[in-house]
Amino acid sequence: MTIARYLREIGRGAQGARHLKLEQAHDLMAQVLDQHVSPLEIGAFAIGMRMKGETVDELQGFVQALHERLEPLASDRPVIAIASYNGARRLPNLVPLLALQLARAGARVLVHGLEHDPDRVTTAQVFDALGRPPARSTDAVTQAWQRDGCAFVPTAVLSPALERLLQVRRTIGLRNSGHTVAKMLNPVRGAPCLRLLSHTHPEFGQLMAGYAEQARAHMAILRGTEGEAVADPRRMPRQQIWLAGVRQADLTSEPEAGSLAALPELPAAIDAATTAAWIQATLRGDRPLPASIKRQAQLLLAALSRLGATPQPTG
């Protein structure tokens, strides 16, 4: 099999490239994930799509192909799935704080992402420093949910094929459509899943919003903190929530304006051990939960309650 006919469409440069139909995008991603194409073709696909950019139809086709190949996670309750694929470079990675805060309030939380990044502190490393190693099987995820409602699962457990596509970045030095699709994956079966994902550039946020509406998805989208889907502890960013593709206007947070009166206390360093110790102290109540993360959690819990869960408010 070959994807040459698709490469001819997407590989004409930013001005000359043509968009794929949903069915074509589905077939293209299916062949890539199933390793029916050569490494050379995968590299051409990665660079071609990076130059062209995805459309909503292409994104939906890619995600459908991935979902058909995901390891399913059964749940009898709605789940908040947090995509974590960037890690910390300058600010502490507080995705585990948000996840554990949601779980303490009664939500069932799944965090998924890469375990290691040579240039950043990953969410997996912070969870590990908290004494919470990754769940390396679907049974381990279920056990973590039963224990305290929160599990981190590596991408490779959910989809070894997607993990391979993500690792192409180490060869060509560029992110590819796999990184976009990874943020949008939903492995939960048997219950609704509210997917929490982030964007850095406004046009990417608009693309995700278009996907949420077209796919009738449950999604929460915010401008991320160094690309992670957690509110900046210094101020609340814009976060929007769609349920069944319908934007929930009353669950939207607008970015805070003006200058900060005072900077919140943050970890002294961004390494995993220091960040984990700071998160533990915050969860114990030894220091206040950043107001922005508190507000983010409240909005997510309100959305989850509309999907049939009954978590308690965070206060």
Q: Say if 271 falls within a structural domain.
A: yes
Separation of alpha carbons 178 and 208, rounded Å: 14
* Cβ neighbours around 147 below 10 Å, total: 11
Assess contact for 152 and 161: CB atoms under 8 A. no
| One domain, residues 18 and 147 | no
| One domain, residues 101 and 62 | no
| One domain, residues 51 and 167 | no
Last residue of a domain, one of 17, 46, 67: 67
Last residue of a domain, one of 67, 89, 118: 67
Q: Say if 192 falls within a structural domain.
A: yes
| pLDDT for 12 | 85
| One domain, residues 185 and 61 | no
| pLDDT for 263 | 64
Separation of alpha carbons 226 and 228, rounded Å: 6
Residue 295 belongs to what H/E stretch? helix 291-306
| pLDDT for 17 | 87
Which domain, by its residues, includes 98?
76-306
| pLDDT for 258 | 60
Residue 73 belongs to what H/E stretch? strand 73-74
Q: Say if 9 falls within a structural domain.
A: yes
Q: Say if 56 falls within a structural domain.
A: yes
| One domain, residues 245 and 146 | yes
Look up the CATH number of the domain holding residue 35: 1.20.970.10
| One domain, residues 59 and 80 | no
| One domain, residues 174 and 241 | yes
| One domain, residues 92 and 139 | yes
- Looking at this protein, which amino acid is placed at residue 229? A
| One domain, residues 62 and 99 | no
Give the Cα-Cα-Cα angle 281, 129, 133 (nearest 5 degrees): 125
| One domain, residues 34 and 173 | no
**Token code pair at residue 155:** 């991408």
**Token code pair at residue 181:** 């699709």
| pLDDT for 262 | 60
Q: Say if 131 falls within a structural domain.
A: yes
Q: Say if 315 falls within a structural domain.
A: no
Taking only the tens place, the pLDDT of each residue in 36-50 is 999 999 999 999 999
| One domain, residues 33 and 121 | no
| pLDDT for 264 | 74
Number of domains in the chain: 2
Q: Say if 203 falls within a structural domain.
A: yes
| One domain, residues 87 and 27 | no
Look up the CATH number of the domain holding residue 237: 3.40.1030.10
Beta bridge partners of residue 81, listed in sequence order: 110, 195
Assess contact for 111 and 96: CB atoms under 8 A. yes
Last residue of a domain, one of 50, 67, 84: 67
pTM of the model as a whole: 0.93
| pLDDT for 254 | 85
Taking only the tens place, the pLDDT of each residue in 132-182 is 999 999 999 999 999 999 999 999 999 999 999 999 998 998 899 999 999
- Looking at this protein, which amino acid is placed at residue 165? L
Q: Say if 226 falls within a structural domain.
A: yes
Low-confidence ranges of the chain (pLDDT < 50): 310, 312-315
